[in-house]
Amino acid sequence: MPTLCTMLPSADEILERAHVVALPMAVKFRGVTTREALLIDGPAGWGEFSPFTEYGAQESAAWLASGIEAAFTGLPEAHGDIEVNGTIPAVADVEPVLARYPGVTTFKIKVAEKGQSLGDDLRRVAAVRRLRPDATLRVDANRGWSVDQAVQAAEKLGELEYIEQPCATVEELAEVRRRTTTPIAADESIRRASDPYRVAELKAADVAVCKVAPLGGVDRLLRIARDLNLDVTVASALDTAVGMDAGLVAAKLTGSRAAGLATQRLFIEDVAAPRELVNGQLEITRTTPDPDRLHGLRASGARRDWWFDRVRDCVAVLGRGPQTRV
């Protein structure tokens, strides 16, 4: 369980500062067409709590710890610009998505989508190669393959920077890594694991994909990244503009590869204007949501109540864990 750098605020202290929003998406991503989030207008800045709706309180508590860190404790100091990758969902027509990422030279392409085949993946990757021939490509299977399927895919997909989370378990990642020359990146095996260090112990990956919210905040991400002693890609968990602040800070402080932090471009609307992409880079800034956008994107009363209950459940989980300084 992530520890908090200050005493844990009460649920009421969090909720009196909370805004629940529903952001429409330009493309379906992880089966989602509307991204909901609870934003916290805290004394140290804005924070975000947006675990995916299927996550229970135990897993979601880390996301709340991250939001509390940003809103009540404050993010570490970091300045400058961050190189980012573009994210290509499992769609048939990639050209409109590519157009959302001017100047970007690295793309992460979703593969192993339920209901699709390796042939679909091959066509999607080939289309990105054709349209952006000089780009660096990585693919993300989100645990969707068996070991044999992952090895076959690696043979057919051609040169890649890495394959992200091809299989479900750390042991399977290690076997794929032994059987292919394509580098392997671990995501869920770090952010959803009870022991994120097992990836390093089993030599199961070449790259650690680290996401601030699921790991419990920037401070904990930095410690895990340091202890894993792997190359790092900091990525978004489909964060709003608010949540992206912490990702950019973490990317700078870890020396991230091209970071997966341009996902704001997958939204039709967000609580703040998208950061400008300049030569494939985003500037580190702190976001203050636009009041009109906050109002226009507010979730229904029923969804607001659901998220408020979720905060209460997660505060209870965090309250059972250590709250001392780390």
Domain ranges across the chain = 11-76+291-320, 81-283
Quick one: fold of 81-283? TIM Barrel (3.20.20)
The whole-number pLDDT of residue 159 equals 97
The pLDDT assigned to 98 comes to: 96
Per-residue confidence (pLDDT) for residue 318, from 0 to 100: 97
**Residue 192: predicted pLDDT:** 87
Task: Determine how many CB atoms are found less than 10 A away from the CB of residue 111.
Answer: 25
Q: Which has the closest alpha carbon to 210: 201, 229, 202? A: 229
Tens place of pLDDT per residue across the chain (326 aa): 454 545 899 999 999 999 999 999 998 887 889 999 999 999 999 999 999 999 999 999 999 999 999 999 999 999 999 999 999 999 999 999 999 999 999 999 999 999 999 999 999 999 999 999 999 999 999 999 999 999 999 999 999 999 999 999 999 999 999 999 999 999 999 988 778 999 999 999 999 999 999 999 999 999 999 999 999 999 999 999 999 999 999 999 999 999 999 999 999 999 999 899 999 999 999 999 999 999 999 999 999 999 999 999 999 999 997 532 22
Query: Does the annotation mark 211 as catalytic?
Result: yes
* pTM recorded for the entire structure: 0.93
* Choice among 108, 114, 156, 211 that is catalytic: 211
Q: Residue 324 has what pLDDT?
A: 29
* CATH superfamily of this structure's domain 11-76+291-320: Enolase-like, N-terminal domain (3.30.390.10)
Q: How far apart are CA 271 and CA 20, in angstroms?
A: 11
What confidence score (pLDDT) does residue 6 get?
52
Question: Are the folds of 11-76+291-320 and 81-283 the same?
Answer: no
In the annotation, is 114 catalytic? no
pLDDT of amino acid 322:
54
